[in-house]
Chain A
């Protein structure tokens, strides 16, 4: 069996198009993943993220564009080249785990090594190492059909890394686990990935997961890319209305751009108020939208501004409002605040208690009030 040696594991996807009949699932997507980098494709279901991943794996046949792994084209419409999945030298963890129920845990993990005709002794050593990495060493002889969901997840992971692939693909691997286990596995995945130094592409619809475990996040929407950036970038500097809304939670405020400066602009909203906002790009036209993260808005009782927080009211934004509803959510309290331009959703730590009906001042800095494209 000849396997492509994609030792450097760099992935280049350019102008990828995938069509099913008349429907276009992926429409001209381009991005690169550097060697050892961990990139996440994030988006709602139907955005084309899984299709993109499966095209990289060789499980979907694209209709156009090219995919290169380690510099070699594995798919290229121009060269009419389509390397089958088994010769791409990659590995993948499936959403359903795809742990073969008719084999033992050992046989599952050894599969990729046996396909590659690895000597018996080395198979044993590699399987042991892989099972050790996911803390499943004691389960080697267990039948795979007798494992719990979390254990199957670990076996799937061990199987994917056992034959030391240069590229690892993850298709929503944590989505079938319960919330607590998911949070644990997230930490383990991040640590494992640092230790193994494998290039990986991860698909998820869970924005929290994407932010937590990625070097870079690619937000996808209806078959195209909305924004590429570091998790901090995506969170603090959303470029589009979709990203602001889908990643984290944000207040979207419509208004008019009135004065532009170096990065900072004046933004007029309903009720005659003017906010100071941040623009990473020159505004197009007058009508625009800014996004303010719900967690980055401070609340103070009206008239007591100077007594709390030390927020600099002169350079920041401070708008008057009334608390309409208070929802106690455990880790945070969510307030709905009526103000001149509508309603603001504000999340405060559970220690910041305000009564419903209280007059408050909502404050946020210009850097956290981001002008969106279009």
Chain B
């Protein structure tokens, strides 16, 4: 066969598949997303190089002064490194033990526990930090007061306003990802690898040390690097627990710099870019570990690992799981609940004055209740519009054969690599300097939420799209259905569970959003998480507890709906 009939020029009327039309649509969407994602970053880089008046754009003079000045901030950098390392170690050790316990031992209520383990993540680090501030602040913290009472001393047992306290809260409420990742690595290991070791005569412990541990090491290492990157960008715990004692990490230093008079955007940007650089390197290292270190025997296939008989140790591990649930879910929620109903937070029953005033303020008081309403409004609208746009993106990336579809994927996934705080800073700076007057309105918040949640939505939808066999759609076409008929009768019904899940996850992510919101809220556009922070800063612990509980309630309701939907549909898909 020669190429005599080729190349075919531009297709005409009988071709329904128009590479040009689809290409143009893809190009437009890619450019739109690239602008949303790249625009703030460009501004951030430019500002970090601005050595003139920090308030002007474009910069009057360029230089590296902002970066060289960071050397003076070595204290902040060492603080960040210390807290991040500490939190990573705690999260990985805890995550490993819990994941091991839940995947490999026979525990009562394993499935139940596994679900509870994920709650701290949804509780959010902000709420967690608030709760632990109530639980373990020096002198007045519930746990310390209890200790004074029981041990009859005046010295404190815990001080949560310390690097250790910050790391502890970060590990508990952001370290959940370590548990999830290590658990996934353990579940994907073929049990026959261990069984063959046992059959060849190795004992239980020898098998564990020589076979199991080496096999899961890449997974654990990958999780550690990933969690470390997360911890570097962590903001809420350091904000609530570090700032009162003038203990700053990079993220809180960035926040501080934007609040100073005049705002030092140059310093903030340089800090942000530095943080982004370190985080990007960590994530690159993470990918490298996962790609190189994962043995071919650990496949994407899920196995049912054979539970080990661990004897008495089982109960020790069970106690550990219960301890985790206690300190990361039960105690924080109880502390918030008790505090939110009191006039002044105290643990002694004799001094308690119960009141509903905090909730009345939350729902009735103008600024606070508008923050609540705004958060719900943003959650619903961003989730609704976001799901539609992200579904189109997923289709372009994974189903169309348009050239450049992998570039779209890269653009869309990019916000994942940028710390939320840094992205918020970039958005702030970018939209302050653009003639479109949406700064300080809900429109900007919506746009910002959409941008930073692209990776979450696209990943969730892609998971479902990839599960739906392509031939299910092709079969409809062969049966004579037009594209729109096929979409209506086959594609959308099959994607429904994924669409519902993506909607709920986006809603949850919007309601709990802090890093971006804290830079973009205005007097007439408040949302809930920054309002919790400002209530806390103006030392209204009881009001912030009430707000935190209301936010958590919204998240938990969405979560329950999500689980229900997932269970209902799991039986219907093959």
Contacts and interface: CB of A to CB of B under 8 A. Distances in A.
B572 to A, nearest CB: 6
A58 B16 CA distance: 11
B1 A80 contact: no
Contact of A86 (B477, B572, B574): B477
Interface string B463-506: 00000010110111111111001000110011000000000000
Contacts of A27: 1
B12 interface: yes
B479 A111 contact: yes
Interface stretch (A89-97, A231-239, A255-263): A89-97
Contacts of A80: 8-9, 11-12, 14-15
A100 interface: yes
A79 B14 CA distance: 9
B475 A82 contact: no
B482 A111 contact: no
Interface string A284-303: 00000000000000000000
Contact of A115 (B15, B16, B480): B480
A86 B494 contact: no
Contact of A96 (B6, B8, B471): B471
Contacts of A79: 14
Contacts of A3: 480
Interface in B493-524: 493-494
B245 interface: no
A347 interface: no
Contacts of B477: 58-59, 84-86
Contacts of B479: 86, 91, 111-112, 115, 159, 163
A9 to B, nearest CB: 15
B16 A98 contact: no
B68 interface: no
B17 interface: yes
Contacts of A83: 14
Given A64-B5, A82-B16, A145-B574, A98 B471 contact: yes
Nearest to B478: A92
Nearest to A73: B14
A351 B9 CA distance: 66
A98 B480 contact: no
A64 B2 CA distance: 9
Contacts of B17: 61, 82, 84
Contacts of B475: 92, 94, 98, 100, 159
A95 B471 contact: yes
Given A61-B17, A86-B482, A115-B481, A94 B476 contact: no
Interface string B550-566: 00000000000000000
Nearest to B486: A86
Interface residues of B, number: 33
Interface string A125-157: 000000000000000000101000000000000
Contact of B1 (A1, A64, A86, A159): A64
A77 B573 CA distance: 40
Given A98-B472, A115-B485, A145-B573, A17 B1 contact: yes
A102 B472 CA distance: 11
A82 B478 contact: no
Given A100-B472, A111-B481, A163-B479, A82 B14 contact: yes
Contacts of B481: 86, 111, 115
B203 interface: no
Nearest to A162: B479
Given A27-B1, A78-B5, A80-B11, A1 B471 contact: no
B11 A63 contact: no
A100 B479 CA distance: 13
Interface string A46-75: 000000000001110101110000000000
A81 B1 CA distance: 20
Contacts of B572: 101-102, 143, 145
A64 B4 CA distance: 9
A15 interface: yes
Contact of A94 (B12, B474, B493): B474
A316 interface: no
A77 B1 CA distance: 13
B571 interface: yes
Interface string A99-130: 01110000000011001100000000000000
Given A81-B14, A91-B479, A163-B480, A98 B6 contact: no
A3 B574 CA distance: 32
Contact of B8 (A77, A91, A169): A77
A63 B474 contact: no
Nearest to A169: B478
Interface in B424-482: 469, 471-472, 474-482
Contacts of A81: 14-15
A3 B481 CA distance: 11
A28 interface: yes
Contacts of B11: 80, 82
A59 B472 CA distance: 12
A96 B467 CA distance: 13
Given A63-B6, A77-B5, A80-B12, A101 B574 contact: yes
A19 to B, nearest CB: 9
B480 A94 contact: no
Contacts of A102: 493-494, 572
Contacts of A116: 480
A297 B493 CA distance: 58
Contacts of A98: 469, 471-472, 474-475
B2 to A, nearest CB: 9
Most buried by B among A1, A91, A115: A115
B328 to A, nearest CB: 38
Given A77-B8, A80-B15, A90-B478, A15 B1 contact: yes
Contacts of A159: 475, 479
A86 B478 contact: yes
B287 to A, nearest CB: 26
Nearest to A102: B493
B269 to A, nearest CB: 42
B490 A100 contact: yes
A100 to B, nearest CB: 6
A208 B471 CA distance: 26
Nearest to B493: A102
Those 10 A-B pairs whose CB atoms lie nearest each other, nearest first = A28-B1, A98-B475, A112-B479, A98-B471, A85-B477, A94-B471, A81-B14, A115-B480, A92-B478, A77-B5
7 contacts: A27-B1, A58-B478, A59-B478, A98-B471, A100-B475, A101-B572, A115-B481
Given A64-B1, A85-B478, A101-B574, 12 more contacts: A58-B478, A59-B474, A80-B11, A82-B11, A82-B15, A82-B16, A84-B17, A84-B477, A94-B471, A94-B475, A100-B490, A112-B479
